[in-house]
Amino acid sequence: MPDVEEAVAAAFREEWGQVVATLIRVTGDWDLAEECAQDAFAQALDRWRRDGIPRRPGAWLTTTARNRALDVLRREAVGAAKLREAAVLGRDEGPYDPEYDGDDSGVEDDRLRLLFTCCHPALPIEARVALTLRTLAGLTTPEIARAFLVPEATMAQRLVRAKKKIRNAGIPYRVPPAHLLPERTTGVLGVVYLLFNEGYAATSGADLVRTNLCAEAIRLARVLARLMPDEPEVLGLLALLLLHDARRGTRVDADGELVTLEDQDRTAWDQLEIDEGAALLETALRRGRPGPYQIQAAIAACHTTAPTAADTDWADIAGLYGELERFVPSAVVRLNRAVAVGMAEHPDAGLELVAELERSGELADYHLLPATRADLLRRSGRTAEAAEAYGRALELVENAAERRFLERRLAGLRPGG
């Protein structure tokens, strides 16, 4: 019966994180939680074939996993205290009722609890990302290792260490209290954004696991947006990811070469994602509490809603970068603003801002600084200076696709090129 296999696969995508999150709360044991969740999914294949697919697969899986955990704990004398706790918690939630179709908010809180714990700032950033993918998204260790281009053993060790630190250092399993929430939410959003970028940056050779990271990040952002609907930055992040993702397929051509925003095939952009992102952004902005993700989403929306590259409202974008600078006072943001100003007014206005950045020495080794200067000089018709700047950018660039792009631009400057 292929539909049972499909149902289990769908339940895995939808429910894995929730089952693990609840089991961690009930048992306090991360490894046991994962084991029992795996076991429940394995049982589902047999039992659903025999008894039919339950109306609420998530509740069935959670109950099955919890019963399994109780069995394991019962057999361990050590587990006596945990067992009492688990039994009490189990009773509170009541037995699995196939007819029950009510509120799931308690269950969703568990996922949020899990996400905040995985993203605790006391864990190394790579571990936060890996742990989120493993426990909440259900990716396997080899999959995560491939996605981050590290050996499997390294990734396995990273996960073990992180779980050990959670236990040994006493990292609490909870959504932080109100006074910590804003800063911790920022941390969680940062992990989800990093996850997305990790997949987005995968250009040529488009490894499926890596592009899959984009989908996982969007899924997590959706969960967050559902759980924290009043946080405009959460909606802003989801909007930003959708607006970026809408263009993902057009960023490289068939040969794996970079295609700039200007030259991307706008008809191939994902209109559904653009519409959803724009609507989310509007909802977020109506709250009147702007933040860096909302502003970045607004910038992305300026690009995705322009019918042609020439229609892009660069003045609007320059203003938005100025606003972003207030939240994220970084040289990279100033560089982006220089591009927008150069496009909105005249390349020379952008070049002035670039020169300011060069004098500050902040981005001395960043290839996009000379590359930006080169592009503005090119647009200004100052070919010889542009060539020199491209040369400098080529000395600094590391990524192969970006290098080829700069080389093509440099070649394009020559007469007949």
State the Cα–Cα distance between residues 309 and 303, nearest whole angstrom.
8
Q: Tell me how far, at minimum, the Cβ of 180 lies from other proteins, in Å.
A: 7
Residue 190 or 249 with smaller CB distance to other proteins: 190
The residue whose two tokens read 């995985």 is: 118
State the Cα–Cα distance between residues 382 and 413, nearest whole angstrom.
10
Which residues ranging from 129 to 168 are in contact with other proteins (CB under 8 A)?
A: 168
Report if residue 181 touches other proteins, rule: CB under 8 A: no
* Residue-by-residue DSSP string for 254-321: TTS-B--GGGS-GGGS-HHHHHHHHHHHHHHHHTT---HHHHHHHHHHHHHT-SSGGG--HHHHHHHH
From the list 44-52, 169-177, 187-195, 288-296, the region that binds other proteins by CB under 8 A is 169-177
Q: Tell me how far, at minimum, the Cβ of 177 lies from other proteins, in Å.
A: 8
Q: Answer for the pair 329, 272: CB distance below 8 angstroms, yes or no.
A: no
Residue 171 or 261 with smaller CB distance to other proteins: 171
Report if residue 127 touches other proteins, rule: CB under 8 A: no
State the Cα–Cα distance between residues 62 and 52, nearest whole angstrom.
17
Token duo for residue 414: 């020559």
Q: Tell me how far, at minimum, the Cβ of 127 lies from other proteins, in Å.
A: 15
Residue 173 or 327 with smaller CB distance to other proteins: 173
Q: Which of 95, 170, 205, 307 binds other proteins (CB under 8 A)?
A: 170
Q: Tell me how far, at minimum, the Cβ of 159 lies from other proteins, in Å.
A: 19
Q: Tell me how far, at minimum, the Cβ of 170 lies from other proteins, in Å.
A: 4
Q: Tell me how far, at minimum, the Cβ of 166 lies from other proteins, in Å.
A: 9
Report if residue 125 touches other proteins, rule: CB under 8 A: no
State the Cα–Cα distance between residues 410 and 414, nearest whole angstrom.
7
Count of CB atoms within 10 A of residue 171's CB? 17
Report if residue 180 touches other proteins, rule: CB under 8 A: yes
Q: Which of 9, 42, 125, 169 binds other proteins (CB under 8 A)?
A: 169
State the Cα–Cα distance between residues 8 and 47, nearest whole angstrom.
11
Query: Where on the chain is the footprint of other proteins (CB under 8 A)?
Result: 120, 122, 168-172, 176, 180
